[in-house]
Amino acid sequence: MDSTSRSSVIIIGAGISGISAGKILAENGIEDILILEASDRIGGRVRNEKFGGVSVELGAGWIAGVGGKESNPVWELASKSGLRTCFSDYTNARYNIYDRSGKIIPSGVAADSYKKAVESAIANLKNLEATNSNIGEVIKAAMELPSSPKTPLELAIDFILHDFEMAEVEPISTYVDFGEREFLVADERGYAHLLYKMAEEFLSTSDGKILDNRLKLNKVVRELQHSRNGVTVKTEDGCVYEANYVILSASIGVLQSDLISFKPPLPKWKTEAIEKCDVMVYTKIFLKFPCKFWPCSPEKEFFIYAHERRGYYTFWQHMENAYPGSNILVVTLTNGESKRVEAQPDEETLKEAMEALRDMFGPDIPNATDILVPRWWNNRFQRGSYSDYPIISDNQLVNNIRAPVGGIFFTGEHTSERFNGYVHGGYLAGIDTGKAVVEKIRKDNERNNSETQNFLLEPLLALTLTQTEAMPSLHKCDIPKQLYLSGKLGIPEAIL
């Protein structure tokens, strides 16, 4: 067990925000840091795993926002590291919609339904913005309208529209700032390779492994005690660490859970802001097959299953563009369906997925030989996939979530006002938080130096009081200078 030690800064969480914050600290000469990571690896929700002979991304999988006038910083990191990626265009999925009889819905019918769904969504959201109504009431009213999605096709398009493409009325900042193209990461080293390359810039490594003892894995933080004297961090294994400042990069889901306790408790304005932010659950289920039975052209990479139940095994992708010959399909579930599937055995999930595939491609298709089901919701170190701010919210909500409390600074994709929910949002948030801590350290050092000088000065002023009585016109602040000029003080560097 580690003995109690004190660092200048402790970073809790070695996801992309924690690593990018650490890099900023190191670049500014603050190397007395400690990174405490709850799991056995760095990366957070950027995680790859070997499945079916290839590397698949269980969490973040795309670099979204490429090809614009401004370069996406994560795309820059990927290019610098030679990360292999494949262009993705899931908007084609709306023209590859299968009904339960295996027929593809005519593109004209699908396009018309999609257009109506977009128009209806924009109208509802603009009405919500205009009236500032309670979102639950507006959604309930919208579902009761004759135009609300009811058929399998309408439900499927509604799912694609709201769970994949459009989260707000205004253009999404990522695509406005960085471009509208998206690239799937398809590299055997994994998306997390970018984090390792970043960590190498300030942590000691050897043969691709981080050996620096300033990174401690399997350290589950359970308590933060904060005061004017700094922050004390207690971990599940009984270790205690002290620091002047803490950067907390836990996810919004973890902040909403009871994993980490704060003493004293966080202020009400902070906890209320944290609770108002939604947590999205996004589950990519991977299925390995002995052979292909689905169309494999690039424009058929994504396809949709129209079912009577919204979000039920709706969104599919084949991995042939990323890994030719891999014979892997991916189906993405979200929120309620994700939580339901996480709670059941993988065998039941495989059965449900195969029933959906047999509806689309016939009863004679082969069984999957393997299945991989990530569980982000039940992972107590994540508690979800990414943050989602309420449709009607102001800047104050984001500001309150990311505002520091004493020596505790909060970071993560959920603290990014423009890019929450994206990898580049987490990366940029870490940079911003690192800079904020550097500035805080600078200001505190300046104040401490000033207080130290005053502490040294006061006794000298008391000792020379009788001498100053002979100089009634002399101002108190001039005494050190006069004493030095008269040769009666031998340590001028302490007072000048």
Supply angle C-alpha 24, 81, 180, rounded to 5. Answer: 90
Q: CB neighbours of 6 closer than 8 A, spacing ≥ 6?
A: 230, 241, 242, 243, 244
Here the tokens at position 146 are 């004759």
For the beta carbon of residue 145, count every other beta carbon within 10 angstroms. 9
Residue 306 counted as an annotated binding residue = no
**What CA–CA distances, in Å, run from 263 to 225, 226, 345, 408?**
5, 6, 39, 12
Distance of alpha carbon 319 from alpha carbon 408, whole angstroms: 42
Residue type, 211: L
Which has the closest alpha carbon to 408: 247, 256, 253? 247
Which has the closest alpha carbon to 47: 290, 381, 277? 381
Residue 38 counted as an annotated binding residue = yes
Nearest 5°: phi and psi at 297?
-70, 155
Residue 110 counted as an annotated binding residue = no
Distance of alpha carbon 274 from alpha carbon 255, whole angstroms: 7
Distance of alpha carbon 201 from alpha carbon 220, whole angstroms: 25
Residue 17 counted as an annotated binding residue = yes
Distance of alpha carbon 489 from alpha carbon 483, whole angstroms: 6
Distance of alpha carbon 355 from alpha carbon 360, whole angstroms: 9
Distance of alpha carbon 351 from alpha carbon 104, whole angstroms: 23
Nearest 5°: phi and psi at 151?
-75, 160
Long-range contacts of 354-360 (CB under 8 A, 24+ apart): 356/305, 356/307, 356/312, 356/313, 356/331, 357/329, 359/98, 359/100, 359/101, 359/102, 359/305, 360/98, 360/102, 360/303, 360/305
Binding site feature residues: 17, 37-38, 221
Residue numbers belonging to the annotated binding site for FAD: 17, 37-38, 221
